[in-house]
Amino acid sequence: MIDTPLVEIPKINASLRATFATRKTFDLAWRQHQLLQISRMLQENHKSIADAIYADLGKPAFEVYMTELNLMLDRAIISAKRVPEWAAVKNLENHPDLPPHQKGWKPKVTPTPKGAVLVISPWNYPLILSIQGTIGAIAAGCTLCLKLSEVTSNYAGLLQQLIPKYLDQDAVRVVCGGVPEVTKVLEQKWDHIFYTGNGTVARIIATAAAKHLTPLTLELGGKSPVIIDPEYDMELAARRVLWGKINNCGQVCVSPDYALVTPSTTAAFVENLKKACLSFYPDGSLKSDSYTRIINMQHFSRIKSLLEQTRGKILMGGGMDETERRIEPTVVLVKPGDVLLESETFGPILTLMEVDDMRSACEYISANDHPLVLYLFTQNEQLQQDVRKLTMSGNLIFNDTFMQMDVKVLPFGGVGESGYGRQVLENTFSCFTYERTSLDIPAEVESKIYLRYPPYTDRSFEVECAPLLNVQIPESTLEGGLIPRG
Ligand code: NAD
């Protein structure tokens, strides 16, 4: 990876603005070609991409293909096919709320590209989190500056070479580097910023965006809980939770961070976690080539220190290999207030906390930041409804973990501390477009609207304003109101 020279950054911004001004990127055929070029880039270079991600994260190629590369290949092709539909002008002439006299005014909405946009991506899913935003920005008809994470430098270096070969350099530019480079990027005016990463940096991004009133999508993380209904099949729950946990060694925004269990189920749940772990890694996880390592020493030390500081009881795993930056899938039973319950673990630790019942689980979750995902293992539909009502989260997933990432029709994103905005396919497209509205009011209606002009008279009030004041308000189903009826 070569850091982008700081002096180049304002020039990149200016050239992307200049390209946008030509309206070249508005052309649907151009967008479709670029989107298909993304799929070609992924297909023709899949091996070097998987190798680069392995060099950065030690991520097994299987995980790269299953959870990143294939999804992006598919979504770039779908986007190329669907973009004419997404970008089509929406005619509102038959909207049920449109009064008949406005039908001839041609009310329309055109999804319109916002301009020169910025995507800032993190290291943990380097491919999906850089390419998904790129697909959305191109489909939208924007020009794009893609700021890749410096933490996954092999991947960033490879993309720095590939993107100019496959995509239109007038419209898509890559910036690499760390805080000085991203700070310079953020000084420029962008028309949308799509940031994926942690909440602390998100505040820096939001502050920089505020200076230019730039709209934002913030895809953040946090502590995603799992609730285990004591009635659920513990073997299945344990296997599915552990699979979500070991994926990318827990370095996933949707990783199950902690599980809330009732005291009667702790032992069975942990026994089944151990059983599942043994079946995933019969020769141990530390040497397994089906298990990712921790991204760097800083994160390794952070996770190690959490295990040193916890006052909880390690019930599974706990072993580590510092030279290889590997940590076993680890389960720790803690009490409220433990360090493991403070911030996102972002590693292979599953924290367990006992709660009296399912309602207490909901109360605990509600008392904390709204998570990106809430997982609930239960067959009980009433419990599913209760949890839906009593908690908030970006996604609410029943009876499995992580699989929501594979369901491309679901809008993905957080709420509160886990971020705002939605992505995947048309939702990503929508981040980078705005709904430009238009009307075309015929000259002939002048005779029907002339009363709007001054001087205002009793007659103009009578015709223009009075009718709604006398309209019959429907009775509500609830009786009374804050102000008693006279
Ligand atoms: P990171 O360290 O790679 O940072 C992300 C980006 O922010 C990088 O491009 C980096 O250059 C930039 N950055 C770093 N410091 C900055 C600063 N001071 N000012 C401006 N920009 C700066 O990645 P990370 O933040 O460690 O990513 C992990 C976090 O992302 C976790 O919290 C995870 O939950 C979250 N995440 C969320 C999603 C989602 O879709 N919701 C997906 C993946 C990760």
Contact criterion met (CB below 8 Å) for 242 and 434: no
Q: Which of 253, 277, 362, 431 is catalytic?
A: 253
> Closest ligand 1 atom, CA of 344?
32
pLDDT higher than 90, residue 244: yes
Three-point CA angle 88, 92, 98, nearest 5°: 170
Dist. CA 120–CA 298, nearest whole Å: 21
Domains of the chain are 8-220+424-435 (3.40.605.10), 224-408 (3.40.309.10)
Atom 39 of ligand 1 has which residue's CA nearest to it?
Answer: 219
Say if ligand 1 is within 6 A of residue 49 CB.
no
- Is beta strand 172-175 parallel, antiparallel or unpaired with respect to 192-196? unpaired
Provide, rounded to the nearest whole percent, the portion of the chain with pLDDT above 70: 98
Contact criterion met (CB below 8 Å) for 190 and 137: no
User: Could you give the count of Cα atoms lying within 13 Å of 286 in the half-sphere of its Cβ?
Assistant: 13
Q: Give the pLDDT mean for 461-485.
A: 80
Q: How confident is the model at residue 480 (pLDDT cuts 50, 70, 90)?
A: low
Say if ligand 1 is within 6 A of residue 138 CB.
no
Query: Which of 122, 119, 123, 152 lies closest to 136, judged by CA?
Result: 119
Q: How confident is the model at residue 475 (pLDDT cuts 50, 70, 90)?
A: confident
Q: Give the pLDDT mean for 102-119.
A: 97
Dist. CA 153–CA 156, nearest whole Å: 5
pLDDT, one tens digit per residue, over 9-43 is: 999 999 999 999 999 999 999 999 999 999 999 99
> Closest ligand 1 atom, CA of 254?
34
Contact criterion met (CB below 8 Å) for 349 and 256: no
pLDDT higher than 70, residue 483: no
Among 3, 124, 211, 346, residue to substitute to test ligand 1 (most atoms within 8 Å of Cβ): 124
Dist. CA 308–CA 315, nearest whole Å: 14
- Predicted pLDDT of residue 482: 58
pLDDT higher than 70, residue 258: yes
Q: Which H or E run contains 438?
A: strand 433-438
Say if ligand 1 is within 6 A of residue 394 CB.
no
- Predicted pLDDT of residue 202: 98
pLDDT, one tens digit per residue, over 185-242 is: 999 999 999 999 999 999 999 999 999 999 999 999 999 999 999 999 999 999 999 9
- Predicted pLDDT of residue 484: 53
pLDDT higher than 80, residue 154: yes
Question: What are the residues whose beta carbons fall under 8 Å from the beta carbon of 50, sequence distance 6 or more?
Answer: 61, 64, 65, 69
Q: Which of 68, 219, 328, 354 is catalytic?
A: 219
Atom 9 of ligand 1 has which residue's CA nearest to it?
Answer: 149
Taking CA atoms, 155 is separated from 45, 56, 299, in Å, by: 12, 7, 19
Contact criterion met (CB below 8 Å) for 372 and 393: yes
Q: Give the pLDDT mean for 405-429.
A: 97
- Predicted pLDDT of residue 481: 54
Say if ligand 1 is within 6 A of residue 123 CB.
yes
- Predicted pLDDT of residue 477: 77
Q: Would you call 253 a catalytic residue per the annotation?
A: yes
Q: Would you call 342 a catalytic residue per the annotation?
A: no
pLDDT higher than 90, residue 316: yes
Dist. CA 428–CA 144, nearest whole Å: 14
Say if ligand 1 is within 6 A of residue 147 CB.
yes
Say if ligand 1 is within 6 A of residue 353 CB.
no
Contact criterion met (CB below 8 Å) for 113 and 142: yes
pLDDT higher than 80, residue 479: no
Among 196, 245, 402, residue to substitute to test ligand 1 (most atoms within 8 Å of Cβ): 196
Dist. CA 223–CA 255, nearest whole Å: 8
Atom 28 of ligand 1 has which residue's CA nearest to it?
Answer: 197
Q: At which residue do the structure tokens 């979750």 appear?
A: 365
Q: Which H or E run contains 18?
A: helix 8-22
Contact criterion met (CB below 8 Å) for 63 and 247: yes
Q: What is the mean pLDDT of the chain?
A: 96
Query: Which of 252, 31, 30 lies closest to 135, judged by CA?
Result: 31
Contact criterion met (CB below 8 Å) for 262 and 357: yes
Dist. CA 143–CA 138, nearest whole Å: 7
Q: How confident is the model at residue 422 (pLDDT cuts 50, 70, 90)?
A: very high
DSSP state of 66: I
pLDDT higher than 60, residue 385: yes
Q: Which H or E run contains 109?
A: strand 108-113
pLDDT, one tens digit per residue, over 433-448 is: 999 999 999 999 999 8
Contact criterion met (CB below 8 Å) for 142 and 117: yes
pLDDT, one tens digit per residue, over 168-191 is: 999 999 999 999 999 999 999 999
Q: How confident is the model at residue 478 (pLDDT cuts 50, 70, 90)?
A: confident
Which pair of tokens denotes residue 57? 């994260």
Sort 311 into a burial class: Cβ within 10 Å, 0-12 / 13-18 / 19+: exposed
DSSP state of 95: -
DSSP of 389-413 = HH---SEEEES-SSGGGG-TTS-B-
User: pTM for the complete prediction?
Assistant: 0.95
